[in-house]
Structure 1
Amino acid sequence: MMRIALALLFCLLAGTATAGPWPRAPGGVFASLSREIRSGDDWDALYVEYGWNERMTFVLDAGRSQNGGWIAILSTRIPLWTLGRHHFAVSVGGGKEHVVYPGLSDDIDPNALLHYGMTPGDYMLMQYGASWGMGFDSRFGSGWATLDGTLRKSSIGNREERKLDATLGVNLSDSNTLFSQAQYSWTKYSEGQLRLGLGWVRHFGPLAIEAGIGKRLRLDRETDAKIGLWLTF
């Protein structure tokens, strides 16, 4: 039962997105609304970027599980420097997480839950991030690669999560984009989880439709499907 609960923990913590080091143009907005379909616990996500000025982009990253858990993080992304095609940025922010564990039974020792940082309830979080990204040209079209590292830590208790996300994408045409992702996350007292994903985006001017599939390679080893809408203006 503890193993099931840890799998649910990764579902809650690893359901949000990263977007690389590039700043959003001042006044520009990017918004994504998506659903990740999982075995018994779908995840709805909202991701919004707003370009405050040339040096500051505000990011809202939020999600909610079918079982009632949710998380919302507001952060600021600041570019550090650019070396040729290589871009670097850092981010800092905070928010709140509501934790539920529907897979737990009453016979589990509460002290064990506390040790694993798994006590249900509300937690205030701090988030720190660092990003690298580069653009490139290929025989298939222009593309990009990013690497994002994130640390989330609660103000009380033992809850701590670290994530490393790698993305490789190619614009096959003006209206079609293909990308792949590798996402690794681990908490302070449990095994890491690795997810590999493949996504496709169809653009219709400022609106786009996203579809994708993913596979977790550790713990629950489940397969998921994702569908979403992107809006840029």
Structure 2
Amino acid sequence: MVDEKAPPEKQGLHGWKAALAVFGCGTLAAFGVFGVLALIVGLFFRTTSTGVAENADQVAGVEQTGTPREELSPGDLNVCGNYLPEISDVMIKETISSVDRDNAQEDGFQAGGRREISGECSFSIQPSYGVNSTSSRWTMDFSYHVIAFDPEGDRDEQAVRSFEEAASEAGLEGAGSLEVDDHSWAEVSRSFYGENESGENRYVVVSRTRSAVYTFSFSGDRSDVNAGVVPKNDFQRQAADVVQRMDNRFFLLIPER
């Protein structure tokens, strides 16, 4: 009797196992392709966003870059008449007084001589800060003195002494005690907060940028809704805006020599 051999076992996967294997391989392959695509897209957006961020930083820092002018034509600085009324950091409602002086515009001025620029101005402003800012009025006084050129001395050293004198005078003003603070709004900035003789709150900031010494004074108005009472923080935020603006202005316009 001839032995019948059993049929050989089938090799490989068949039936549901084969279907499962095919499905698994296809899924892994799909995830692999998706992963590569995701990696490429991620790199693209990271590169793009980095470029945008760098450009944004460059734009934001435009005012803080640049070098001083080599020359300053007569009348170009003119802060009270041409510059302060145009900036967006303070809303001027009325110009009370305004004068600028540049001895380069005076008769008899000789090129190469000591050149000084100064000015004083006073404005009624609508403050940008405070609970009742839309209906409040402050008085803003500003004065400045710039040594644009001195053939016989160091302009910046002279300005350092002028700053100390101006700060000392500001510290003596006021009817009562003063709160004194130093700030980084310019090369040097020192503020004084207290009351004037009329009982209105007052905030004075004396600053120096290179060979320029300048003073902002803000005071409340007893006739407005706050009766002249202004918190120091409201004064301080407004002062920070305008002082930093003037710091950049003086830095760029005062000639290097």
Q: TM-score, normalised by structure 1?
A: 0.27
Q: Could you say which structure has the higher helix fraction?
A: 2
Q: Could you say which structure has the higher strand fraction?
A: 1
Structure index of larger Rg: 2
